[in-house]
Chain A
């Protein structure tokens, strides 16, 4: 698999998106993510954090965009390197799949249409689960997992995909502190290996210890920089 193209995982310029064209949720967003970092996307309720993620991934209408670059090119050419983890509440956790089944979904594109999930793929998926600390629960139906465990499964899915850029929407909502710190640790490991993480995060108190950088969004970007400095600057 070629990893050509620029090393900038995400570049946006003049990005405006949202359901209503007359009153878009996010306006004129410009940002560049540094590779090998974890970034928290914070802001008040309704600030457009989810909309920004969905917009750049083509899941919500976009009204203006001078530039949307994933690793130097359009999303189409970088799909195998980009992983999206939607809000947990949007997924059908009653679907009769095991943790292993979900983790393996990261491999589906690589496997290609009409190919089964074979032994090799299942081993890869299992490794991903081990990395997030769920090795023992591989066969467990996801309906029986806790919120934190489910979040880890989604991260494992991205790991199995070997994604270089992970976009997470509210990964720590309804997750206990200990699990939150553990998952943040996994995300930092991903960054340490060269991956990039952008996560919508709601709890300002934990941003500094869990993330490298922070973006303060309230319809437009109010601040973007190293976590500690950015939050201090805006008086938080």
Chain B
């Protein structure tokens, strides 16, 4: 069989995934480190119950369970709820931040699994669309998907640019930021919003399970480089975009390679490559 043509479908998939990869890498720079990466994991998995509930609501209200905007909105809502619940849970006596993350992840994903199982028995037959949200279906990226992705990316980029220094200050030293009088709670919400936006963007192309990987891995790879925060964030975005593009092309070349996994493996390859950088081997004295 001859090499497949570089047609409209490939272009759409390439464009959509690249845009998503760039956003994920940039946002990931601020998510990585200090429990926040785990929070991203929680958010990704916690979108499952929201998607299921949105499906059920759509069917019940006659809006059609396959409406993608409804599903995405539902997923975003529970992802937000879960991410928000983690700090609250961690303050409970004896729970701590590890316990909070584990509990939230298990609870939300568990609820999602139950809902998914009950939807299976649903008569409408529209639940096929749910699967693509869990595992992604980049191959079938439509023009509408691309438009939505680009819009989301533009908003995310603008938000990052506007709040860049505050995000950095809070990521590095939150108590200092609070004493200095920076609006810590508001910025935390901004970061959460960026996280949710990335999860939503990733749902269609990478699936909620792999979205986190595309946020964290490029950011981790970028840390091997030297430079200012801005430069590193840009490198993370570039690695994210590059890995996503590589994933699409790999998936094009090797038919049995699902796009979502190909993207993640490319990002991991970048990360492993970054470990070879000379900077990585020179570390200061801890603390």
> Do chains A and B directly touch (beta carbons under 8 Å) in the complex?
yes
Check if B284 sits within 8 Å of A105, measured CB to CB.
Answer: no
Choose from A82, A86, A113, A145 the contact partner of B175 (Cβ within 8 Å): A86
Shortest CB–CB separation between residue B166 and chain A, in angstroms?
7
Given contacts A86-B173, A86-B175, A145-B284, 7 further A-B contacts (CB under 8 A): A57-B175, A84-B180, A86-B176, A96-B232, A98-B229, A108-B180, A116-B164
Choose from B165, B179, B181, B287 the contact partner of A174 (Cβ within 8 Å): B287
Within 8 A of A (CB), among B167-209: 168-169, 171-173, 175-183
Chain A interface, number of residues (Cβ within 8 angstroms): 51
Check if B229 sits within 8 Å of A147, measured CB to CB.
Answer: no
Choose from A97, A114, A174 the contact partner of B162 (Cβ within 8 Å): A114
Choose from A105, A116, A147 the contact partner of B287 (Cβ within 8 Å): A147
Q: Within 8 Å CB of A95, what residues of B?
A: 33, 168, 171-172, 229
Check if B284 sits within 8 Å of A79, measured CB to CB.
Answer: no
Within 8 A of A (CB), among B224-257: 225-229, 232-233
Residue A218 lies at the interface, judged by CB distance under 8 Å to chain B: no
Residue A202 lies at the interface, judged by CB distance under 8 Å to chain B: no
Contact mask for chain A residues 76-92; partner B; CB cutoff 8 A; 1 contact, 0 none: 10011011111011111
A86 to B173 alpha-carbon distance, docked (Å): 8
A150 to B173 alpha-carbon distance, docked (Å): 13
Q: Within 8 Å CB of B222, what residues of A?
A: 96
A84-B176, A85-B176, A108-B165 in contact; A92/B34 too (CB < 8 A)?
yes
Q: Within 8 Å CB of A105, what residues of B?
A: 165, 168-169, 172-173, 176-177, 180
Check if A82 sits within 8 Å of B172, measured CB to CB.
Answer: no
Binding site for A on B (CB under 8 A): 29, 33-34, 162-166, 168-169, 171-173, 175-183, 222-223, 225-229, 232-233, 279, 282-287
Check if B175 sits within 8 Å of A97, measured CB to CB.
Answer: no
Q: Within 8 Å CB of A91, what residues of B?
A: 172-173
Check if A79 sits within 8 Å of B180, measured CB to CB.
Answer: yes
Choose from B179, B283, B287 the contact partner of A59 (Cβ within 8 Å): B179
Check if A96 sits within 8 Å of B180, measured CB to CB.
Answer: no
Q: Within 8 Å CB of A129, what residues of B?
A: none
A98 to B164 alpha-carbon distance, docked (Å): 15
Q: Within 8 Å CB of B183, what residues of A?
A: 113
Check if A101 sits within 8 Å of B229, measured CB to CB.
Answer: yes
Check if A161 sits within 8 Å of B180, measured CB to CB.
Answer: yes
A84-B176, A105-B172 in contact; A94/B165 too (CB < 8 A)?
no
Choose from B173, B181, B223 the contact partner of A94 (Cβ within 8 Å): B223
Check if A84 sits within 8 Å of B175, measured CB to CB.
Answer: yes
Q: Within 8 Å CB of B172, what residues of A?
A: 91-92, 95, 97, 102, 105
Check if B168 sits within 8 Å of A97, measured CB to CB.
Answer: yes
Shortest CB–CB separation between residue A173 and chain B, in angstroms?
7
Give me 19 A-to-B residue pairs in the complex whose CB atoms sit less than 8 angstroms apart, sorted by A's number: A57-B175, A84-B176, A84-B179, A92-B171, A93-B287, A94-B33, A95-B33, A98-B229, A101-B229, A105-B168, A105-B177, A108-B165, A113-B163, A117-B165, A139-B226, A144-B282, A144-B284, A147-B286, A161-B180
Contact mask for chain A residues 181-206; partner B; CB cutoff 8 A; 1 contact, 0 none: 00000000000000000000000000
A65 to B271 alpha-carbon distance, docked (Å): 51
A166 to B223 alpha-carbon distance, docked (Å): 31
Q: Within 8 Å CB of A96, what residues of B?
A: 29, 222-223, 225, 227, 229, 232-233
Check if A59 sits within 8 Å of B178, measured CB to CB.
Answer: yes
Check if A88 sits within 8 Å of B169, measured CB to CB.
Answer: no
A113 to B190 alpha-carbon distance, docked (Å): 13
Q: Which of B172, B176, B222, B285 has the most chain A CB atoms closer than 10 A to its own CB? A: B176
Q: Within 8 Å CB of A100, what residues of B?
A: 228
Q: Within 8 Å CB of B176, what residues of A?
A: 83-86, 105, 157
Q: Within 8 Å CB of A57, what residues of B?
A: 175, 178-179
Nearest chain-A residue to B169 (Cβ)? A105
A57-B179, A105-B173 in contact; A98/B228 too (CB < 8 A)?
yes
A171 to B121 alpha-carbon distance, docked (Å): 62
A91 to B162 alpha-carbon distance, docked (Å): 24
Q: Within 8 Å CB of B226, what residues of A?
A: 98, 139-141
A140 to B228 alpha-carbon distance, docked (Å): 9
Q: Within 8 Å CB of B282, what residues of A?
A: 144
Residue A149 lies at the interface, judged by CB distance under 8 Å to chain B: yes
A84-B176, A94-B33, A109-B182 in contact; A143/B283 too (CB < 8 A)?
yes
A105-B172, A113-B183, A139-B226 in contact; A144/B283 too (CB < 8 A)?
yes
A144 to B283 alpha-carbon distance, docked (Å): 5
